[in-house]
Chains A and B, each alone.
Chain A
Amino acid sequence: MKNKIRLKINGKEYAANEGEYVLTVAAREGIDIPALCFNEAFEPYGACRLCLVEVLAGPYQPGLTTSCTLKVKEGLEVLTETEEIRKHRRVLLELYLAQAPESQFIKDLALKYDVTATRFRIKYDPADPLGNKCVLCGLCVRACNEALGIGAINYIGRGINTKVNTPFLEPSSECIGCNACVRVCPTGAIKFEDVQDQRIMISWSKTRVPLKQCMICGKYFAPEPLTLFSYQKMDPRLEEGLEDVCPDCRRKLFSRKEILASKGIEVRK
């Protein structure tokens, strides 16, 4: 793709592709803008409000807006560090410190912007399945619903009672144990554990997903519904018989096959 659009960030000109957001351009160019709810895999969400920039010129209304939702346009000029942005960022980080007091990630982020304490009441719930680390960025929800189309978790409640979890806080029958939620969570709030033949999504109402056992080495290597989910999407399909073999044993099988083949020996299964 050709770089078509020129925009100015903090007075310096940069080139960008059409359809890109200011936040992604800034990240590429090494300009620091904090963000919690943005991930290029998903549609912009605009919830964490940390990636504020100030629009100076261009086809948008001048003033503060989130850079994750701001599409680059010819002639766009933004500032990423102003006294006002720093002020709001500090207040927002204070609110995050109060909302997710157990998150080291949030503490580190706040520290990076010189916020070491919060003026607001620290919310702490000893029974929180997300360990008082969730900032409701919605990445896990979007991964589960938008990206994978599984829909095991979603928002529960409204307003200050908003939480992410399974419906009715019951173990999910939809969860495939893929751990995409765990991967995208910026604060490491989602807990899981593999115990013997089961993956337990501790944060998600202790949803249990059976693990698949390798028919060669006997190791439990992946959640059973996840393997079904992925095999269905594979094209061409996995060679017959390999579905029940763990990646390690699969590698061994292939290597052996290759070595023998180099010696002119054809292997039958």
Chain B
Amino acid sequence: MKISNLDALDEIKQQGLKKIFPGKPRIAVGLATCGIATGGDLVFEALKDSLEKRGLDVYLAKVGCIGYCKEEPLVNISFPGKPLLILHRVKERDANSIVEALTKGDVPEEKALCRIEEWDHLTSKLAYGSGFENVPRYSDIPYFRYQKKLVLRNCGLINPEDIEEYIGIGGYYPLFKALKSMSPEEIIEEVKASELRGRGGAGFPTGLKWSITRAANGSRKYVICNADEGDPGAYMNRNEMESDPHMLIEGMLIGAYAIGAQEGVIYVRAEYPKAIERLELALQQAEEYGLLGDGILGTNFSFHITLAKGAGAFVCGEETALISSVEGKPGRPRPRPPFPAEKGLWGMPTNINNVETWCNIPIIIAKGGNWFAQTGTDKNKGTKVFSLVGKVDNVGLVEVPLGTPLSQIVYEIGNGGTGGKKIKALQTGGPSGGCIPASLFDTPVDYEKLKEAGSIMGSGGIVVMDADTCMVDTAKFFIEFTSDESCGKCIPCKEGLQMVHETLEKITRGEGTQGDLEVIEDLCDTIQKTSLCALGQTAPNPVLTTIRYFRSEYEAHIRDHKCPAKQCRALITYRILEDKCTGCTLCARVCPVAAITGELRKPHSINPDLCTKCGSCKDVCKFDAVIVE
């Protein structure tokens, strides 16, 4: 049915709420890609089987991901009048015990991570109830305590495949408000008041961008959502699309109305099949409910969204390359100006924003720009979602107010290094971000401060590194990535990055020479200053920051032919300590190249000529007898 008035919207809202509060137990399994990868789909099937076998009347649903990757698979359970419980690390075999407990109105408490008594979806507040006092509160969990969920407000709590649940928690009301009671100018003013800046990395003021596109001349206008999230280790946008696709669609609808666009494109990478599937379904549902297509909500505003699937080129995240790719041409950036706002898709004024930028729009309309601007710092308003990965204990998606110090993200939310190891550095902003040493972790996450530290905000990846990470090797890894992903159009990026990569390769092989660092620095400076697009302009960041903060590691490689982190294979040797070796033969058995010899119960030894330095022997030794030098 097509919604055209408030009564109809209210009616759908009630239907949606009936699914969230079905008047009977509700089990919802976290089934974003991450949940599925950890076996969430098996848990879902097992729960379904078990419920069917027992003939229990339970509402079983799929939800997205609440972002605590380390604790997946996650399952939500709610009973009428009781708090919502989040169960963690649920395995297929737990299904029966969960259903068993359910029949008694209970849950296996040892599986419960936390309870949620009420939740502010920002577009409405839900009160679940009280009880289960033995289970910690959501806000007692350190991982959640310091987070502030604006963008991820619905993720992991509602069914992303059901538009009615989104409307149930107040979704599409901001669109209704925008279309029925606000002029496009008023919307742009509201976005300007929010001081929202582009979440794709560059941090351009969103309201200003919109007003430029609105003012541009063109017979047609387009809005594009950049969902070509290509940074290794970054998956904020993926989760936003998989867990709450309507939030994105609603943001684009409001933006299109404000800008005067008739068509929208979501450029999503083909490597995100689940996001594509859910977006397709969400678009179809939005159209069925009269929220997308012709005459939206009974007004004369029409807007259509199509999906364009990226073929895997990192550079297509650059807006001019993205447009080129949508047009069916190779993804190669072109010089700006003209900016897309003037001359974009098919030569028409085009407004491109990142997924997360669009996702912030509905709440800005719902709560007002001034409300939004209360969060954050002076020039950095709102929150930012980060994917916290690498050698950190709590891996997952983290949403914090801009201006939060890196230390809080890493130590309080992330709970420090994996296995209690000391953290050495972290990298923000994807492959072209800089590495920030632990001594600078009081740096607040905002666009300017990260830049001062030699890094960038980027789209929001945070990769944590500990003492076992070689900074030269890290720089080499990222330069190899950006060099591979260079489109090949301009020489500093294409040839320059390759030369930097080759020199780093040489250094990690122990063949570096005095003067290499100076050449790298000189070349990187030119790549940064003269490249055509942001890929080349930012690609040297990991190299320059690691030289700036960890120069001694480079010098150890070049001068002493040593890798202090003991990672660069050419510079290390494996040796067995005779006094520690018990002659258990385990290492000899796992060695893939038979480089280890020795008799039973007698010390073994490694033949350095055969050893490939794979580290298998060290991994299996129970007596710490294998050392790396």
CA distance A138 to B494 in the complex (A): 14
Report if A91-B526 is in contact (Cβ < 8 Å); known contacts: A136-B491, A157-B488, A159-B486.
yes
Give A68's nearest chain B residue, CB to CB. B335
Q: Is the CB of A46 within 8 A of B490?
A: yes
CA distance A66 to B492 in the complex (A): 13
**Most chain A beta-carbon neighbours within 10 Å: one of B330, B489, B525, B531:** B489
Q: Is the CB of B491 within 8 A of A159?
A: no
- The reply to whether the CB of B487 lies closer than 8 angstroms to some CB of chain A is yes
Report if A49-B530 is in contact (Cβ < 8 Å); known contacts: A91-B523, A120-B499, A158-B313.
yes
Q: Is the CB of A161 within 8 A of B530?
A: no
Partner of B489, one of A47, A52, A66: A47
Interface of B is mostly: helix
In the assembled complex, which residues on chain A have CB atoms less than 8 Å from the CB atom of B496? 91, 95
Which residues of A67-97 have CB atoms within 8 Å of chain B's CB atoms? Answer: 69, 71, 84, 87-88, 91-92, 95-96
Q: Is the CB of B530 within 8 A of A52?
A: yes
- The reply to whether the CB of A162 lies closer than 8 angstroms to some CB of chain B is yes
Give A48's nearest chain B residue, CB to CB. B491
- The reply to whether the CB of A119 lies closer than 8 angstroms to some CB of chain B is yes
In the assembled complex, which residues on chain B have CB atoms less than 8 Å from the CB atom of A135? 491
In the assembled complex, which residues on chain A have CB atoms less than 8 Å from the CB atom of B485? 159
Q: How far is the CB of A200 from chain B (nearest CB, A)?
A: 28
- The reply to whether the CB of B502 lies closer than 8 angstroms to some CB of chain A is yes
Q: How far is the CB of B572 from chain A (nearest CB, A)?
A: 26
Q: Is the CB of A159 within 8 A of B529?
A: no
Q: Is the CB of A121 within 8 A of B502?
A: yes
- The reply to whether the CB of A160 lies closer than 8 angstroms to some CB of chain B is yes
Q: Per-residue 0/1 for A134-178: is the Cβ within 8 Å of any B Cβ (1 yes, 0 no)?
A: 011010000000000000000101111110000000000000000
- The reply to whether the CB of B334 lies closer than 8 angstroms to some CB of chain A is yes
- The reply to whether the CB of B519 lies closer than 8 angstroms to some CB of chain A is yes
Q: How far is the CB of A99 from chain B (nearest CB, A)?
A: 5
- The reply to whether the CB of A188 lies closer than 8 angstroms to some CB of chain B is no
In the assembled complex, which residues on chain B have CB atoms less than 8 Å from the CB atom of A119? 519
Interface residues of A (CB under 8 A from B): 44-49, 52, 64, 66, 69, 71, 84, 87-88, 91-92, 95-96, 98-99, 119-121, 135-136, 138, 155, 157-162
19 further A-B pairs in the complex, CB-CB below 8 A; given A46-B335, A92-B526, A136-B488: A46-B532, A49-B530, A87-B526, A88-B529, A92-B492, A95-B492, A98-B495, A98-B499, A99-B491, A120-B499, A120-B523, A121-B499, A136-B491, A136-B494, A138-B489, A159-B484, A159-B488, A160-B488, A160-B498
Q: List 16 A-B contacts (CB under 8 A).
A: A46-B334, A47-B490, A49-B491, A64-B530, A66-B335, A69-B335, A69-B337, A91-B492, A91-B496, A95-B492, A95-B496, A95-B499, A120-B523, A155-B330, A159-B484, A160-B488
